[in-house]
Amino acid sequence: MCGVMCGLAVAIMLCGSVIPCATFCAPAIGGLLLMPVAIECGMRMAWVCYGAIGLLTLLLAPDKEMAAIFVFFFGYYPLLKAYLQRIHSRVLRVLLKAIVFNGSVLAMYTVLLYLFPIQYLVEEFAQIAGWMILVLLLLGNLCFWIYDAALVNIVQLYVIKLQAKLRHML
């Protein structure tokens, strides 16, 4: 199962390189594919799959921004969320999630703009006004909270509808 999900995630990431609007969608879907692995095979195998998908995507995908989005956030967040959900204090849990998301985004774009500069990305950020970058970050936060809520529903859907069918096939 781990190999199939890894292969499927890498295939989705490679297809996402071809479709310009999939820069953010493909990594999000790739991260979702790690959830059945975590449920069926355990968190250790899910983390191994995350590493394999991240490495293969960085090596094979032409869109390095998309690969970085997977490595820096969408790949590990569904797994990290399982640990964050164990925190009893809702305020602390929300604060930690916000710190993880915003820290990941800032770290990723710092790496992509300054450490390993991607020319088209540097030019794109040079043309954007400073206030517009803040608006994009706020919109990214909105999308993150929607994604965070969707993860709960997707896990429930998997457990209720798909888990028994998948186990029957295996």
Do residues 77 and 31 touch, judged by C-beta distance below 8 A? yes
Among 159, 147, 158, 155, smallest CA distance to 28 is for 147
Taking residue 89's Cβ as centre, other Cβ atoms within 10 Å add up to 9
Which of these ranges, 79-88, 91-100, 158-167, has the smallest mean pLDDT?
158-167
Percent of the chain with pLDDT over 90: 65
Side chain identity at residue 163, one-letter code:
Q
pLDDT tens-digit profile of 10-49? Answer: 999 999 888 878 888 999 999 999 999 999 899 999 999 9
Average pLDDT over residues 80-85: 94
* pLDDT tens per residue across span 90-124: 999 999 999 999 999 999 988 988 888 888 788 88
- Nearest-angstrom CA–CA distance, 81 and 39: 13
40 vs 46: CA distance, rounded Å: 9
**Average pLDDT over the chain, rounded to an integer:** 90
The mean pLDDT value for 80-94 works out to 94
8 Å CB contact between 24 and 69: yes
Amino acid letter at 132?
A: M
Global pTM value:
0.86
| Amino acid (1-letter code) at residue 11 | A
How many Cβ atoms from other residues are within 10 Å of residue 103's Cβ? 12
